[in-house]
Every structure is written in structure tokens, then in C-alpha cells.
Amino acid sequence: MSGNEPASPMPAGGLLGDLRALRADVLRFLETVPRQRGDVAPLRLAWYRAVLLSHPEHVHQVLVTDCARFQKPPRFRRAARRICGRGLFANEGPDWRRQRQRVQAALQRLDLDQYAGTVNSVVDQTLAGWPRDGDQEMFGLLVRLALAIRASTTFGTRSALPLTDLAQATSVFMDYFVHTFRWPLAWPLWVPTGRNRRTRAACRTWWRTLRQAIEVAGTKNHSVESLLDALQHPDTEADRLTSRQLLDELATWVLTGTETLANTLAWSCYLLARHPAARRCLADELDRTLGGRPPMPADVARLPYLESVIRETLRLFPQGYMLGRKALEPFSVGRQAFPSGTAVILNQWFISRDSRWFDDPLAFEPRRWSDGLLERLPRGAFIPYGAGPRACAGRMFARIELPLVLAAITQRFDLELSPERAVRPLPSITLRPSPALPIRLRQRAQVPNSGAGGDT
């Protein structure tokens, strides 16, 4: 650390310091602070010392090169534990490492083509029940679709989870997270405020439903390769999970894998509805390549525009828009030094909209990805699934689910944004569209299923 300058003096700002501006408008805060104070911006969030990092190289340092010096913030872990127990997302240290190895070993046992077949059949059934024409609250439809996919792939195709209850519980959790992170003086959950009562009721529904799902799946002799199957049949006895660990891992999977999927699909639909030329281009590519049949994972490499639409959505609306860590020891970034205990905020929202890395950064331009941009970007500039040892454990499934679902929606429907209401991102642990996503659906004329390119 010698030769480093101490962190610049704490910013002023009354009792709350920077927390006042952060609470008022998180995304605006993430955009303005780096412009005013640079890529390494010391903050004071009430009595917490923090730093906002807005350069890709520094993000890479925290998540990858120096990752052992940081962990997820304890406040965040405490809140997440109510909903995910000690599953991967909210765990730390040697316990997390062991769990991550076990889950990864279980995931290797899944047959990805069978997995994609399950996703396609859930999507097919669900879209058949969508209205053919008219204004819809699309986000609600997508949350239920994402939950149905997660339920079938996690517990098996015959699972019958009460999706509406789970969708409501997830909304309550997101509201709880928004409140807890913005307000360090938030009442602990046992204090009977209205929000706390709603959150505790949602937790009871959540855990009861997941326990029942495990019991039901366990008593049926279903043959589907679900995550539950894979976790229950480890290769070695040492990898066997206790029933509590199993429950926590499945709760983690359902929460993390549903919220991010629904949100990313929602933002893709929003962007396609706002950009008819891009929507037509995507529909043409799908018709030409698939001729009306559902895509399989092997098709994705032959659908470059689809892949680019998804990348562009993840760039403009990154679900990990602000990743948090806490320093376990003193560290330095650039030429500034920070003490142990500093909260570190990685500003992915700003980085993925920064003109230093992306031309015309606010434009939705899927074609920017067609000439090798991904390889040219500095590391840390586009990491929609995080990076380093804590990167997304479900990314290989997201990379199957996102293209399959978006292709199926585009093959069947034209999307148009209903003009009356503005849609904004609601920053919680993820980025939801708010207050809703009003979209006009119109069923497209069916392209005959000619089996085009049918080598899969």
C-alpha cells in the first residue's frame, strides 16, 4: 500500500451524507456521481464508509483479481437469508465454496437438450393461453411464465406450484429489499410495521410452498432431469445435502432464476416493442432459420440477431446494475487507499452506458455486437452475469432460456408499446419495469413449420 494516497476527504451532506441522493433516485445517483467525482468516488452512506467504482478495470479487480479480499455485504446477506436461507446467493466462506461445488456437480448431470425440451414445452403451453390480441400487462404474464419454467426445471414437469402465490411473494420481497437497502434504519423484521407484516406473511407462503413442492416431487416417480433430481442423487455420499441445505438451494434457485429471467425478458419485449424495425429483423431471422419450429440450443449460434438483441438488453438493463461487496482488509484502487470494512459499490449501470466503451451508448442497437465488440471491450465492461468465483451459477440456463423464450414470443406475436404510460426501471436487487409493462399483443400469421434448418 505504500505510495498510495489516502482516500479523498469524506463528502459532506448532513447526517445521511450521500445516502440522501442515493435514496432519492438510485439510477440518477449512479449516473451523476462518476461524472462529478470520477471513476473512484468515496462516499458516506450515513455512518458507512463506501466507494463507488465506475471503471471496468476496478470492477475486474474487486470481482476477480482481488476477490479474496471482499465478500458480499453482511446487511445484504442477512436480508437475503430470510428468503434463500444459506443457499449459494446469501452464503459466504468455506460453506459457500462447498455448496457451489456440489451445485455445479449436480448441474453437470443435467441433459441440456432435455432441459431445453422442458423449457419449450412450458413456453408452448403458456403462450397458447395468452390473449391473441389486445393490451396486456406483459410483466405479470412474463413473471408467471418464468415461474412456470423454473418450477418445471427445478422440481420436475409434474410439479404444480401455486404460481400466483409465488409471484406475489416475490413482489413483496423486492419491495422489502428496496426499502432495506435504501434505509439503514429500517425496522428489523420482527417489528410489526405494515411492510414487515407483508414480508413475513410472504416468507411463510414461500417456505411452505417450496417444502410442499419437494415432498410432492419426492413421492412421484417422474423421470425428468430436474435440479431436484440431480441434487438428490449426488455422485458421492460426501456431496449429499441435508434436507435444510436442499430446501435453501432450491429456494435460491427459484428466487434468483425467476426474477432475473422475467425482468430480462420484460426489457427485451419493451425494447422490441419500441423498435419495430429491430422486431421485424428478428422475426425475419427466426422465420428464415427455423421456419416456424421452436428453437433448440444448437440453433442459437445460427441466430446472431437474437443473440445480439439479448446482449443489448443485458447491456441497457443489467440485472446486476449495482453489485455490492465489503472489504475484509485494506485495499487500494487506482491511487487511492481504503480501510478494511469499506463498502464497495460496482457501478455496472454506468459502465454499460458509458460512451468510453459503447458508441451512442443510450441507443438500442443490436448490430453493435455483430463485429466482435465483445472481444474488444476491456474486461469488466460487459459482465451481465457477474465475474469471478461469485459469477451467476445459473448462467448456462439463462443462456438457454432467454433465446428460447424470446424466439417463441417473437415467432407468435407482434409487440407494440401502449403509449399511455411511461415505463421505468425499479432498482431493487434487480431491475424490474415499473409500474407495469403495458404492451399490445397481436398474433402473427403462423409461418408454416417447414423444418427449416432442421438439423436438430
CB of 142 to ligand HEM, least distance (A): 12
- Is residue 261 a contact point for ligand HEM (CB under 6 A)? yes
Report the run of H or E that residue 199 belongs to, with start and end: helix 194-219
* Among 156-164, 204-212, 216-224, 258-266, the segment contacting ligand HEM (CB under 6 A): 258-266
Instruction: Map 65-114 to HEC letters.
Output: HCHHHEECCHHHHHHHHHHHCCCHHHCCHHHHHHHHHHHHHHHHCCCHHH
- Is residue 106 a contact point for ligand HEM (CB under 6 A)? no
- Is residue 320 a contact point for ligand HEM (CB under 6 A)? yes
Cis-peptide, bond into residue 435, ω within 30° of zero: yes
d(CA 285, CA 281): 6
- Is residue 88 a contact point for ligand HEM (CB under 6 A)? yes
Judged by CB under 6 A, the number of residues near ligand HEM is: 25
* Among 136-144, 214-222, 352-360, 396-404, the segment contacting ligand HEM (CB under 6 A): 396-404
CB of 426 to ligand HEM, least distance (A): 16
- Is residue 403 a contact point for ligand HEM (CB under 6 A)? no
* Largest separation between any pair of C-alpha atoms in the chain: 69
Q: Which residue has the cell 427459484?
A: 254
* Among 188-196, 197-205, 253-261, 366-374, the segment contacting ligand HEM (CB under 6 A): 253-261
* Among 155-163, 250-258, 274-282, 300-308, the segment contacting ligand HEM (CB under 6 A): 250-258
Q: Tell how many helices (H) and how many strands (E) occur in the chain.
A: 16, 13
Here the cell at position 306 is 437474437
User: Which is closer to ligand HEM, CB of 281 or CB of 402?
Assistant: 402
Here the cell at position 209 is 410452498
CB of 20 to ligand HEM, least distance (A): 25
Residues 215-234 that bind ligand HEM (CB under 6 A): none
- Is residue 256 a contact point for ligand HEM (CB under 6 A)? yes
Identify any residues that bridge with 45 across adjacent strands, giving them in sequence order.
17, 48
Here the cell at position 343 is 463498502
- Is residue 250 a contact point for ligand HEM (CB under 6 A)? no
* Among 176-184, 257-265, 276-284, 335-343, the segment contacting ligand HEM (CB under 6 A): 257-265
- Is residue 313 a contact point for ligand HEM (CB under 6 A)? no
- Is residue 42 a contact point for ligand HEM (CB under 6 A)? no
Q: Which position among 272, 393, 409, 431 is part of the footprint of ligand HEM (CB under 6 A)?
A: 393
C-alpha distance from residue 382 to each of 24, 126, 311, 324, 354 (Å): 27, 32, 9, 17, 11
d(CA 287, CA 375): 29
User: Which is closer to ligand HEM, CB of 17 or CB of 327?
Assistant: 327
Other C-beta atoms within 10 Å of 433: how many?
Answer: 21
All residues at 6 or more sequence positions from 49 whose CB lies less than 8 Å from its CB, including other chains: 10, 42, 43, 338, 339, 341, 342, 343
**CB–CB of 453/407 below 8 Å?**
no
**CB–CB of 346/63 below 8 Å?**
yes
CB of 89 to ligand HEM, least distance (A): 4
Question: Shortest Cβ contact with ligand HEM: which residue?
Answer: 394
Regarding beta strands 424-427 and 431-434, do their DSSP bridges make them parallel or antiparallel, or are they unpaired?
antiparallel
Q: Which position among 58, 275, 315, 390 is part of the footprint of ligand HEM (CB under 6 A)?
A: 390
Q: Which position among 257, 366, 427, 438 is part of the footprint of ligand HEM (CB under 6 A)?
A: 257
Here the cell at position 387 is 465475474
Q: Which position among 100, 222, 274, 368 is part of the footprint of ligand HEM (CB under 6 A)?
A: 100
Q: Which position among 118, 260, 411, 428 is part of the footprint of ligand HEM (CB under 6 A)?
A: 260
User: Where do contacts with ligand HEM occur on this chain (CB under 6 A)?
Assistant: 88-89, 100, 252-253, 256-257, 260-261, 264, 314, 319-320, 323, 384-386, 390-394, 397-398, 402
